[in-house]
Amino acid sequence: MLFPARPGEEPMIAFPLVLPMGWKESPPNFSAATETVADIANDHIADNQHRPPHHRLEVVSESPPPDDEKPTTSPNENSPALPQPTCQPYPSGHRTKPTHYWDVYVDDFIGLTQGNKWQRRRTKRILLHALDTVFRGLDPNDTPHRQEPASVKKLRKGDACWTTRKVILGWILDALSKTIELPQHRKDRLIEILESIQPTQRRIAVKQWHKVLGELRSMVIAIPGARGLFCTLQEAFRHQEESSHRLRLTKQVHDFLADFKWLAHSINERPTRLGEVVPHHNPSTRGAFQRQGRTESVLIRKSERTDHEQ
């Protein structure tokens, strides 16, 4: 880093010992380090002979999660039961052993584990020790301003506690019901956005409309049926007033916003299934279609014994 110098002064060059906030090169450099931590952890997980010792943060990492992450023992009375898929024989080569894996998004480590408490404890210990391998742990000679590589504040909030229902990157994932939904504060924000545009409003700032559509798109995964409502909302950008930074909100736009509002108010009745976001590796139906002439035919058959398309 070069610092501006006054006339007659020697130029100064600084070498930062940490990644500066706001520096555009910080995210890729930091992600390279955290990806290395995840790779080391997964390599040790694959080694069945690797038995990590007790870690100093292990006790605090078992802090209970918040109420919205606690698994529900009974279905919500206001929510209809989700249909259960029919049981199918595992395809050949399907993993039958417990799964243990670590992934990372910038500085948020996301873990998946199965098995008894000893296997879950081993998976977590491996990550904590891998963090100390890449990011040096605390030393008695460190200044009081240096902190643990892992966020103790988040550990105390229950972020590292294993549970079947977890808030991950702003989404609630439920491994038992296999659904994804918005946390309550994001549901409240969704209602706030839609209620801010009154049915009688005829104009809106272009910048504000960009913000509205951006936030709606960031939540659309958890709003079943909302993906097809953006065409008319996006088309509103074509109706920008001349010599103005505002656009017109037509009756069609308000109709689509009303549909969005209806879906938002019923969002608790029907969470999004993970199978709608990520297709299943072994779907219960296989499809084939024929493109001949001017018509198309679709054939859906039950997939039972064979893995090839029928």
- Predicted confidence at residue 77, as pLDDT, reads 44
- Predicted confidence at residue 257, as pLDDT, reads 92
Class of domain 184-277: alpha beta
DSSP 61-77: GGPPPPGGGSPPSS--T
Domain ranges in the chain with CATH number 3.30.70: 184-277
What does DSSP say about strands 2-3 and 12-13: parallel, antiparallel, or unpaired?
antiparallel
Task: Tell me the C-alpha to C-alpha distance, in Å, between residue 245 and each of 142, 207, 212, 250, 272.
Answer: 54, 8, 15, 16, 37
Helix (H) or strand (E) holding 274: helix 274-277
Q: Give the model confidence (pLDDT) of 92-146 as tens digits.
A: 455 577 889 999 998 899 999 998 999 999 999 999 999 999 988 888 888 888 8
- Predicted confidence at residue 43, as pLDDT, reads 95
Residues 58, 81: Cα–Cα separation, whole Å:
37
Q: Which amino acid is at 146?
A: R
- Predicted confidence at residue 285, as pLDDT, reads 56
Task: Tell me the C-alpha to C-alpha distance, in Å, between residue 72 and each of 67, 76, 120, 192, 298.
Answer: 10, 8, 21, 27, 40
- Predicted confidence at residue 243, as pLDDT, reads 78
pLDDT lower than 70: segments of the chain: 1, 21, 68-95, 280-310
- Predicted confidence at residue 309, as pLDDT, reads 40
- Predicted confidence at residue 69, as pLDDT, reads 63
Residues 245, 108: Cα–Cα separation, whole Å:
39
- Predicted confidence at residue 74, as pLDDT, reads 46
- Predicted confidence at residue 6, as pLDDT, reads 84
Q: pTM for this structure?
A: 0.72
